[in-house]
């Protein structure tokens, strides 16, 4: 497994960048209402990274992502992030939210993961047969 940015298509790059956004978002505040503050790791959101394993693994191994499995993982990540955001909205004295920047960023990264999975095509292997130009050298 290796990062091969130049060989990835736009979908692969989107998956990688989304992962690079989602992981640090867990270090940010996820709940912040006055005296209560928790990061994504303290809130247990790090478990949601399990949905990112399959698409990222296929990308790093340059293997095709099965559309069904990839979308299932990506959409599940979107659903859990959206559910967290909705649960943090409290209806006291009007609508207010105690969700901080972390879950919003994770949600956006999850949406980007869905887009990346749809766009992803594995890099084609370079042909190993010699061409006329390489034989002339």
Cα 119 from Cα 126, distance rounded (Å): 21
Of 30, 49, 47, nearest to 38 (Cα)?
A: 30
Give residue-wise pLDDT tens across range 80-130: 989 888 777 655 555 555 667 888 899 999 999 999 999 988 777 654 445
CA 99 to each of CA 3, 24, 40, 85: distance values in angstroms, whole numbers, following the listed order: 33, 16, 11, 6
Neighbours of 79 (CB within 10 A): 14
Give the confidence band of 36 by pLDDT, cuts at 50, 70, 90: low
Task: Give percent above pLDDT 70 in the chain.
Answer: 77
| Prediction pTM value | 0.77
Q: What pLDDT, on the 0 to 100 scale, is given for residue 55?
A: 93
Give residue-wise pLDDT tens across range 63-85: 888 999 999 999 999 999 898 88
């Amino acid at each position: 497994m290796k990062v091969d940015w130049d060989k990835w298509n736009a979908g692969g790059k989107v998956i990688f960048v989304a992962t690079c956004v989602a992981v640090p978002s867990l270090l940010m505040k996820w709940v912040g209402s006055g005296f209560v503050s928790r990061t994504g790791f303290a809130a247990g959101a790090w478990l949601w990274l399990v949905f990112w394993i399959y698409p990222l693994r296929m990308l790093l191994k340059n293997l095709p992502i099965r559309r069904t499995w990839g979308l299932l993982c990506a959409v599940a990540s979107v659903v859990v992030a959206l559910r967290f955001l909705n649960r943090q909205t409290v209806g006291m004295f009007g609508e207010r939210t105690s969700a901080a920047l972390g879950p919003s960023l994770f949600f956006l990264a999850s949406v980007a993961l869905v887009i990346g999975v749809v766009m992803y095509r594995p890099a084609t292997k370079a042909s190993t047969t010699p061409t006329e130009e390489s034989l002339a050298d």
